[in-house]
Amino acid sequence: MGIAVSFHHRIAADRLAAAAAPQTGDQFHALLESALGETVRAAIGAQEAEIELTLCGDAEMTHLNFDHMGERGPTDVLAFPLHEWTVDEGHSHLADEDAITPPGALLLGDVVIDVDQAVRQAAEGGWRAPQEIALLAVHGTLHLLGHDHAEPEDEEAMRAIERRVLAALHRRHRNVGWRRGSLFDRSADAVPAGG
């Protein structure tokens, strides 16, 4: 059982390659697949699932943010879940109306990451863009699974999963070039508002 990720690149290849550096495209995809897989396992267990991951730029995210959130300008990550979830002690459960699903992988929805915004946030934080994009992938996936950070106790449950997943990614993907003092050392405080 595993997590299948469908990538959609809606940003110029050279901009995406620059953001992924020092990794190759394959290494970058492996990092993001791990981020999504670890997050799903932490939130719902070892269930077979599928996620769509879209990497875009500011222009597309600006449109999506306005159309779906009513906000002007880009944001770092948006999540478009296909199911209703309840969260109990950090674990996501399908809401009653979604509890009966057909056999096979459960399609969770779409996470959209603004690579341009992630690059800016990484520069402001002093770490590399792949680290920021991995964090946004984790954060967006948790939103797909019903997690939120509107209330303090909900935020703490969400941040606890983020810290566990990010620690696992840090150990597994040493080729990313993690920087000391980055989001992996301060992950509870690393997710910017608006995510």
* pLDDT score of 189: 41
For 173, the token pair is: 């993907």
| Entry field: residues in the chain | 195
Residue 150: which residues within 8 A CB-CB, separation 6 or more? none
| 116-135 pLDDT per residue, tens | 999 999 999 888 999 999 99
User: Hey, where are the domains in the chain?
Assistant: 3-190
Q: What is the pLDDT of residue 98?
A: 64
pLDDT of residue 93: 85
Pairing mode, strands 91-94 and 85-88: antiparallel
Residue 46 has pLDDT above 70, yes or no: yes
Instruction: Check whether 112 has a pLDDT greater than 70.
Output: yes
Name the CATH superfamily housing domain 3-190.
Metalloproteases ("zincins"), catalytic domain (3.40.390.30)
Residue 166 CA to chain centroid, in angstroms? 11
**Cα-atom radius of gyration of the chain, to the nearest Å?**
16
- Contacts of 80 by beta carbon, 8 Å cutoff, 6+ apart: 68, 109, 110, 111, 112, 144
Angstrom distance (rounded) from CA 85 to CA 179: 35
Percentage of the chain lying above the pLDDT 70 cut: 88
**Helix or strand run (H / E) with residue 20:** helix 13-20
What mean pLDDT comes out for the span 47-51? 93
**Quick one: pLDDT at residue 188?**
39
What is the C-alpha to C-alpha distance for residues 125 and 118, in angstroms, rounded to an integer? Answer: 10
Q: How far apart, in whole angstroms, are the C-alpha atoms of residue 145 and residue 162?
A: 13
User: Pick from 103, 89, 111: which is nearest to 47 by CA?
Assistant: 103
Alpha helices in 45-193 (DSSP H): 58-69, 115-125, 129-144, 152-172, 187-190
What number is the average pLDDT over the span 69-97?
Answer: 90
- pLDDT computed for residue 193 by the predictor: 36
User: Is the pLDDT at 152 greater than 90, yes or no?
Assistant: no
Residue 96: what pLDDT? 75
CA distance 81 to 56: 18
